[in-house]
Structure 1
Amino acid sequence: MPVTIPEIDYEAVFQSNPSAILLLTREFDIAAANRSYERMTGAVGAEIIGRNLYEVFPGGADPKKAPGPARVRASLERVLATGRRDTVGLQRYDVELPDRPGVFEPRYWSVINAPVFDTDGRVVMILHRVMEVTAFLTQLRQAHDHGITATPAEVEAMEAEYYTRVRELQQANEQLRTAHALEREIAAALRESVERQQRFVSDASHDLRSPLTGLQTRLEFALQDASDDPQQTIRSALKDAERLTEIVADLLELARLDAATPVSTEKVDLAGFVTEELGRRVSRVPVSLDLARGVIVDASPVRLARLLGNLLANAERHAFHRIEITVAADEDTAILQVADDGPGVPAADRDQIFERFHRLDEARRSDPGGTGLGLPIAREIARAHGGRLLLTDREGGACFVLRLPRSVSTGGDSG
């Protein structure tokens, strides 16, 4: 025969539980207290419901000097953050005497905090269960009155030793908890690094395969067809070789950046640097300049030239009529902007353009031979210098903003 299970009265179960339990909100306000808790602490449920745990039980006349309340709060916050049960070893948490306001009695507790979840798995409340061991420690003091051959000083030493060992155990548990959290963070970082490396190798292999296949095909046709123009074959093969060289150079630069390979830096005046770099280039569209003098950064000129060159190459591919370069300063930050009046970048794609090998359709049309590594390299160079490279909103076109720390030894004019 099937067994009939009576309907469970959870309120009665909570109230009759021999363990002393509070039900706390996420803000640590007391939502319920069972009878065991009331008997143990002397608190009356009707008087403490709705009040904050640390208002009812501050832990002493000066809570800031009492370590117990701080450790219990840290445990409660861990439960909220992790959704896991958390145990606090023996703690001294003094309780105010009901009939003597302002007078606190030393009490010793062991605490277990457990999460209560809603249907979505979110921690909505905390079961705060406490076990008092004050009586045990008191019995140690009184042991010599019950036939145990120990002096009061020896009993007091036993009590101190017990409390010390429990505190050491609690500290060891906290250290283990910290080590496990660090271990999880390291494992997650390693997984992310491996996945990123696998994607990188896959994308790099795909990008290298195209020019290699083209080069191999042209050479095979040239060997099979004696009438083929050797000069044209060589020119086509040279283009493929140049593209391979560009891809390999980009890959090597990314590898150096990923490895955080140190490079020498020097003080660079951005205005003069931009002017000098533009003198080495021939742009297909006019470039307008608004360069504040005296904006100096500590940077590697080689890498900074690579960053600026990549931004300019990107702007030249997309600009309709002009490119604008601005150098300015904002307190301790140097700002370099490269803007174009091209079609711009849709808001949904602004993060993707900094992903390695990612190329938008517009970029593929304007430059079919691009690698999709220019902007990612530029951003990594900015990060290597302690800065940021962002794509900002602009009416008509795209505007890349590089922000770098200004040289600490320079307070030059930025106007």
Structure 2
Amino acid sequence: MVPSEVDYRAVFMALAAPLLVLTPDFVVVGANNSYLEMTGRGLEDLVGRDYFAVFPGNPNVPDDPDAQGAERLRASLERVCATGERHTMPLQRYDIEASGRPGVFEERYWSTINIPVLGPDGEVELVVHRTEEVTDFLRQLGRFDERGVTGTRTELEAAGTDVFAHALQELNERLKQTQREQQETTSALQEVIERQRRFVFDASHDLRNPITGLLTELEVAISEPHTDLHQILSKLMLNAERLNDIVADALEIARLETATPAATELVDLGRLVVDELGRRALTTTVLAQLDDHVVVKASWIRVARLLCNLLANAERHTATAIEIVVTAAPPEAVLEVIDDGPGIAAADRERVFERLCRLEDASRRDPGGSGLGLPIAREIAQSYGGHLYAADHPTGARFVLRLPLAA
């Protein structure tokens, strides 16, 4: 949330870059903490004073063209005030007087930018002086001997080139990292495309079975006029239902991947289970243990679809009864569907969530299954920040849904 009033002075003081604010007459009106720490000065030493009175430059090296930092800085500031445009200075030497030691100057090197602040009339009202000390960095580059810097402009320019080379090396490393990330993204996209290609191929193969059944029965009806039409229509109906189930599941997969999640509402999982059991005519016994007020934020229709898919899977495999458990395990709501069938081997507990994956027992018990029910259920769970997985159970299969509890 953006605060109604920003304390710009606090922001300025906290900035990491060393900053000094000057009037067009080069009188100091402000400095942030980074600048004070870098120069070893306090605000009382700077504010209200002429910059060049505080930092007069080193008079001990008047004939060294590379040590005339004060003159070059003054020229840069005058240029900014005259043009109203920022000026980036080349790497320069500007010795400063040691704090508390008048007349003692320390050799320093700086990278500086001077930036104008314009008033409503377009005139320069203030100048922001941003400077970074690079003395230690130059020492690390080995540009110093026992007397200090080697003294010629060529050496100083070479040091500046090294600074640029160092920055270029960092940029190159960042570009390499970006390239690696792009390669990973490309690989992930290729994997998704390949998965979609396999899905289309497998789904097309599955669609051929009911279509072939429909065509066969129609051919029989046409070629044999005295065939029992009721029997043929019954078979046609079964194949049409199978075809409809596959298409519906494929469309649901597409919706989950391409659309935003359906609008959310507060869903009481216990009430949802009771409601769906009342709608569904199951062929086996259902035992329900439902805690009250286990509420999640999701789409009732989507979570009901998830539950129906789990119930269909359990009904296909159970021997005598299905157990449904709803409980709260903060910060999550937990819904479990347990059957007492043959169960799922540990090695297959992730495979069952792969699209169109049908284990041998599932294919035998229900040859018409689409192999998309469990993948759809998992994608619905993930779309609301949850997780669906097959857990260990002494007898039968146990599917566990975990969703964040609503506040």
Smaller-chain TM-score range?
0.5 to 0.7
Cα 1:137/1:298, change in 2 over 3 Å: farther
Structure 2 distance, partners of 1:390, 1:294, is 23
Counterpart for residue 142 of structure 1 = 150
Shift, 1:301, TM fit: 1.0
Contact 1:140–1:159, Cα closer than 8 Å, also in 2: no
Shift, 1:357, TM fit: 1.1
Greater displacement, 164-173 / 185-194 = 164-173
Counterpart for residue 327 of structure 2 = 328
Provide TM-score, normalisation by structure 1: 0.62
Counterpart for residue 242 of structure 1 = 241
Q: Structure 1: which 5+ runs fail to align?
A: 1-104, 110-131, 145-149, 410-415
1:78-97 correspondence runs (5 A): none
Structure 2 distance, partners of 1:201, 1:177, is 36
Structure 1 distance, partners of 2:358, 2:165, is 60
Counterpart for residue 218 of structure 1 = 217
Structure 2 distance, partners of 1:323, 1:304, is 19
Cα 1:139/1:392, change in 2 over 3 Å: farther
Counterpart for residue 348 of structure 2 = 349
Q: SS of the counterpart of 1:396?
A: coil
Contact 1:306–1:378, Cα closer than 8 Å, also in 2: yes
Counterpart for residue 204 of structure 1 = 203
Q: Deviations over 1:261-315 (max 9, x none)?
A: 3311111011111111111112212111111111111111111011000001111
Structure 2 distance, partners of 1:331, 1:382, is 17
Shift, 1:340, TM fit: 0.8
1:54-203 correspondence runs (5 A): 133-135=141-143, 141-144=149-152, 150=153, 156=156, 158=157, 161-203=160-202
Counterpart for residue 401 of structure 2 = 402
Give the letter for the 2:384 counterpart.
Answer: H
Q: SS of the counterpart of 1:290?
A: strand
Shift, 1:370, TM fit: 0.8
- 1:319 pairs with 2:318: yes
Counterpart for residue 250 of structure 2 = 251
Shift, 1:138, TM fit: 9.1
Greater displacement, 167-176 / 276-285 = 167-176
Structure 2 distance, partners of 1:216, 1:289, is 43
- 1:368 pairs with 2:367: yes
Counterpart for residue 296 of structure 1 = 295
**How large is the Cα RMSD of the aligned pairs?**
2.3
Structure 2 distance, partners of 1:161, 1:292, is 71
Q: SS of the counterpart of 2:279?
A: coil
Structure 2 distance, partners of 1:176, 1:277, is 54
Contact 1:288–1:323, Cα closer than 8 Å, also in 2: yes
Give the letter for the 1:226 counterpart.
Answer: P
Counterpart for residue 340 of structure 1 = 339
Counterpart for residue 388 of structure 2 = 389
Shift, 1:235, TM fit: 1.9
Structure 1 distance, partners of 2:302, 2:402, is 15
Structure 1 distance, partners of 2:254, 2:147, is 67
Max Rg structure = 2
Amino-acid identity (%):
48
Contact 2:327–2:334, Cα closer than 8 Å, also in 1: yes
Q: Deviations over 1:99-154 (max 9, x none)?
A: xxxxxx95779xxxxxxxxxxxxxxxxxxxxxx8414899993143xxxxx4xxx9
Q: SS of the counterpart of 1:358?
A: coil
Structure 1 distance, partners of 2:295, 2:309, is 21
Q: Deviations over 1:302-337 (max 9, x none)?
A: 110110000011111111111111111112111100
Cα 1:384/1:139, change in 2 over 3 Å: farther
Cα 1:137/1:320, change in 2 over 3 Å: farther
Contact 1:292–1:327, Cα closer than 8 Å, also in 2: yes
Give the letter for the 1:385 counterpart.
Answer: Y
Give the letter for the 1:142 counterpart.
Answer: T
Q: SS of the counterpart of 2:213?
A: helix
Contact 2:143–2:150, Cα closer than 8 Å, also in 1: no
1:221-232 correspondence runs (5 A): 221-232=220-231
Give the letter for the 1:232 counterpart.
Answer: Q
Cα 1:139/1:236, change in 2 over 3 Å: farther
Q: SS of the counterpart of 1:390?
A: strand
Contact 2:355–2:372, Cα closer than 8 Å, also in 1: yes
Give the letter for the 2:355 counterpart.
Answer: R
Contact 1:253–1:377, Cα closer than 8 Å, also in 2: yes
Give the letter for the 1:134 counterpart.
Answer: G
Q: SS of the counterpart of 2:356?
A: coil
Contact 1:140–1:155, Cα closer than 8 Å, also in 2: no
Q: SS of the counterpart of 1:279?
A: helix
Q: Deviations over 1:65-95 (max 9, x none)?
A: xxxxxxxxxxxxxxxxxxxxxxxxxxxxxxx
Structure 2 distance, partners of 1:247, 1:307, is 16
Q: SS of the counterpart of 1:134?
A: coil
Greater displacement, 303-312 / 367-376 = 367-376
Structure 1 distance, partners of 2:195, 2:146, is 60
Contact 1:295–1:334, Cα closer than 8 Å, also in 2: yes
Contact 1:287–1:324, Cα closer than 8 Å, also in 2: yes
Cα 1:306/1:281, change in 2 over 3 Å: same
